[in-house]
Amino acid sequence: MKAAVLTSYDTSLSRRDFVTYQDVPEPKITGPADIIVRVGGAGVCRTDLHVIEGLWRDRVSISLPYIMGHENAGWVAAVGSSVELVKVGDPVICHPLVSKGEALAARRGNDMHAGGAFPGIDSNGGYAELLKTAERAVIKLPQTLAPKDVAPYADAGLTAYHAAKKAARHLLPGDYVVAIGAGGLGHIGIQVLQALCAAQIIAIDRSELALNLAKECGAHHVIKADGKELEAVLALTEGAGAEAVIDFVGEGDSVAKGLKMTRNAGCYYIVGYGGKVEIPTMDMIVTEKTIVGNLVGTYPDLVELMALADRGLVTLATREYRLDQANAALHDLSNGTVKGRAVLIP
């Protein structure tokens, strides 16, 4: 089969070709619960850039060459002997983690802390014609949703949903919520907030393209990240800040500013990563702010998100690239020129 293969790291992201389009052996069913998916779309994620930079090198044990791509949807191509949930030909979206179902965390519905395989990060992923996953990870898609249109929901959408759902649980009408970053994740998070709560949504981004998308997605206020975004949020919220701030950037000065945009007793949700949280403990007790980490989302989260997508309450802005254009997609993401989410189509 064809695949876009990562053969070496590039810590400065300066190479023209990050991945190589080549023939590789097809994945095979080896366990009774295994599923092979014919990839219909693979989302291109900032995490893939972090993988190329070598940021994940010490976190997971994988040796190069391997195939990235953890945001996958497609059609079931083959199933192991015990699979009952889906049959060959069914359209599916793949939860990115093939979690260990017997683990206590998984039984409690906390897939991301149950351990397991994460195709695209610690094993071969979906920048390929075929992907190996397992019954525990797949969700059958309704007829309304085509795999290539929903693939990025598997991680970008799921992560945005997971954080926005936590915020929506405490946001009341009249409250404010800030989305820092209105790109691939942020534009989904804004729609989820719209669907799940009645708070006023403020979107912040450096790019006009992203701010326009944020408006289309239902943001009530948009603020250009021009260095004065903190002051702009405080002005909108009568100096108090927002009850919830969801930081889809998580690096540069967004962390310090995000914390300052958070109202006393409010919550700061970290979704994007790469930066550092630094806050004096005294400030934590005086302000009673809560800092919340977010790691992808659970299988039920993804089922709920597909229900929103099926009803048209969340739509995904995508830009399609052929699998052999993976380098162009990665560069466009790196340069911030993709509106919404890049998807590779094998």
> Do the beta carbons of residue 344 and residue 127 sit within 8 Å?
yes
**CB-side neighbour CA atoms (13 Å) of 148:** 13
In the complex with Zn ion, the residue whose CB is nearer, 92 or 160, is: 160
Instruction: Look up residue 135 and give its two tokens.
Output: 């019954």
The minimum distance between CB 80 and Zn ion, in angstroms, equals: 26
> Of 9-17, 148-156, 238-246, 326-334, which part binds Zn ion (CB under 5 A)?
148-156
The minimum distance between CB 295 and Zn ion, in angstroms, equals: 11
> Of 47-55, 59-67, 225-233, 323-331, which part binds Zn ion (CB under 5 A)?
47-55
The minimum distance between CB 41 and Zn ion, in angstroms, equals: 13
Burial class of residue 65 in the structure, from the number of CB atoms within 10 Å of its CB (0-12 exposed, 13-18 middle, 19+ buried): middle
* CA proximity to 5, closest of 21, 16, 17: 21
304 counts as binding Zn ion under rule CB under 5 A: no
- Say how far apart CA 107 and CA 61 lie, in whole Å: 26
DSSP for residue 236: H
> Do the beta carbons of residue 218 and residue 183 sit within 8 Å?
no
> Of 147-155, 164-172, 232-240, 247-255, which part binds Zn ion (CB under 5 A)?
147-155
How far is the CA of 189 from the CAs of 79, 164, 171, in angstroms?
33, 6, 14
Burial class of residue 218 in the structure, from the number of CB atoms within 10 Å of its CB (0-12 exposed, 13-18 middle, 19+ buried): middle
> Of 154-162, 222-230, 273-281, 314-322, which part binds Zn ion (CB under 5 A)?
154-162
Considering CB under 5 A, how many residues would be counted as binding Zn ion? 3
- Contact characters 17-46, Zn ion, x per CB under 5 A: ----------------------------x-
> Do the beta carbons of residue 286 and residue 220 sit within 8 Å?
no
In the complex with Zn ion, the residue whose CB is nearer, 45 or 249, is: 45
155 counts as binding Zn ion under rule CB under 5 A: yes
In the complex with Zn ion, the residue whose CB is nearer, 4 or 83, is: 4
In the complex with Zn ion, the residue whose CB is nearer, 121 or 202, is: 121
Instruction: Look up residue 192 and give its two tokens.
Output: 């989820």
- Say how far apart CA 196 and CA 165 lie, in whole Å: 7
> Do the beta carbons of residue 37 and residue 47 sit within 8 Å?
no
Query: Which one among 44, 47, 157, 341 touches Zn ion, defined by CB under 5 A?
Result: 47
Instruction: Look up residue 198 and give its two tokens.
Output: 């009645």
In the complex with Zn ion, the residue whose CB is nearer, 45 or 203, is: 45
DSSP for residue 21: E
Q: Which residue is nearest to Zn ion (CB)?
A: 45
The minimum distance between CB 158 and Zn ion, in angstroms, equals: 9
150 counts as binding Zn ion under rule CB under 5 A: no
The contact set with Zn ion (CB under 5 A) reads 45, 47, 155
